[in-house]
Chains A and B, each alone.
Chain A
Amino acid sequence: AQSVTQLDSQVPVFEEAPVELRCNYSSSVSVYLFWYVQYPNQGLQLLLKYLSGSTLVKGINGFEAEFNKSQTSFHLRKPSVHISDTAEYFCAVKGTNAGKSTFGDGTTLTVKP
């Protein structure tokens, strides 16, 4: 079994500032890790995923995430955010031996001008 904790439910930030959205997970098996973004009134879409290899993963729209096995974390970062990044972000974990994902409760990122 696995679980995901997104440590911040809401993150307000000014335009062009850096942002970090935090995600911790627990699992008894090896995992794959995902970040999804949900824009208002839309479904979720993949931002990036960690499968293996380099612990720094780059995704779409300038986002990146770092896998830290010892801290069981997968934090999402962007060096300079835009108004259009305002959305809800979900961290998800999937066991390497299972097909279902477990999602965190989401972090609402609000970018202010």
Chain B
Amino acid sequence: NAGVTQTPKFRILKIGQSMTLQCTQDMNHNYMYWYRQDPGMGLKLIYYSVGAGITDKGEVPNGYNVSRSTTEDFPLRLELAAPSQTSVYFCASSLRDTNTEAFFGQGTRLTVV
């Protein structure tokens, strides 16, 4: 089992460029999440999905988009990158049951210059 896999691990973007952060999981989890982690700020939820075809906004969705066409994949799209989007991005997944923990990917460190 690979768990949750994120690509790329690192990326530098110029202001105004766009990119897609990839996330895939092989645990057949219904729920998937995207978080950003800024120093000293903990994890902020960007978007989440409770199943294929269903997505919803989290705390900080502005500047991002997601899609969930399959159970396994949950890509995060950044359009018109801004310096405020410099952060470490984590994808996570969990079972539908509320008493279960989330499994995290290794993260993508994104710098916008």
| Number of residue pairs A-B, CB distance < 8 angstroms | 55
Is B90 an interface residue when CB atoms closer than 8 A count as contact?
Answer: yes
Q: How far does the Cβ of A42 sit from chain B's closest Cβ, in whole Å?
A: 6
**Contacts known (A44-B90, A103-B43); A96 close to B101, Cβ less than 8 A:** no
Interchain CB contact (< 8 A) of B98 among A42, A45, A96: A96
Cα separation A33 to B40 with both chains bound (whole Å): 21
Contacts of B98 in A (CB 8 A): 32, 94-99
- Count of chain A residues near B, Cβ 8 A: 25
Note all chain B residues with C-beta closer than 8 A to A41.
106-107
A72 within 8 A of B: no
| Chain B interface, number of residues (Cβ within 8 angstroms) | 24
Q: Is A66 part of the contact surface with B, judged by Cβ < 8 Å?
A: no
Q: Decide yes or no whether A34 CB sits under 8 A from chain B.
A: yes
A99/B31 in contact, CB under 8 A: yes
B residues whose Cβ falls under 8 Å from a Cβ of A: 4, 31, 33, 35, 40-43, 45, 48, 50, 58, 90, 92, 94, 96, 98-99, 101-102, 104-107
Interface centre among A42, A44, A51, A94 (most CB of B within 10 A): A44
Known: A98-B98, A100-B58. 13 other contacts (CB 8 A): A9-B40, A41-B107, A42-B106, A44-B43, A44-B92, A49-B99, A51-B99, A90-B42, A90-B43, A95-B98, A103-B35, A103-B42, A103-B43
